[in-house]
Amino acid sequence: MLPAAEATLTPSPIRYATEAKLIFADSATLAPFPTQYLEYWDLSAAQKAIWFPVGLPNSIPEDLPFYKAWISDYADGSENIRVLYMEPGNPLDANLKSIDIQMIKTNQPITLDSITHQFKEMPHDVREVPVRGQTGFSYWISSVAAGNSAVLTWREGTVNFRISVSGDWPQPDANQPHALDEVMLKIAEALQTKP
């Protein structure tokens, strides 16, 4: 796919991706390396550029505005879109409320094993939850620099979904590990596919 006029072609954000191991269900596999990485400041342009139907929420908690979208194409045929909604302000401010929705069309299923054996994050208190009629998983991730974030992930057909909530929300931690599950489940239920 050639970059559209609305897209910015940028170097891959993953340094040394060919050296990192990512474990998928029952097998160690090299982390996929993007062959193309595009940034979009216009959500409709990003939706037109992706090869599969994108599920976007018909409402966002606290009416957070769209910030940016990224599309990554991979050599194995997978394609990823990441849509970020964020409070206005400095995007490097970890205290700003944000909602990050990612969809990846892939043949790799989401399993408990694939969540607990990631190379880039350490999930805490992984819990199986029903999401849109599918089996999903919610957990939280600790970060000293960026604050803790909550994650909800599930699979529909050949698309893996991941919603993460971070910033100035009630922080998930060992005492309240699933404080944001309700927020993430509402976002998941509000997803609608736009043809």
Mean pLDDT of 133-155: 85
pTM above 0.85? no
In order of start, what are the domains of the chain with their CATH numbers?
A: 7-194 (3.40.1000)
Per cent of the chain over pLDDT 90 is: 31
Q: What pLDDT digit, counting tens, does each position of 55-107 carry?
A: 888 888 888 999 999 998 888 888 889 999 999 999 888 889 999 999 989 88
For residues 118 and 160, the model is more confident at 160
Q: Supply the DSSP symbol for 61.
A: G
Instruction: Give the C-alpha distances (Å, rounded to integers) separating 95 from 98, 131, 168, 181.
Output: 9, 28, 5, 19
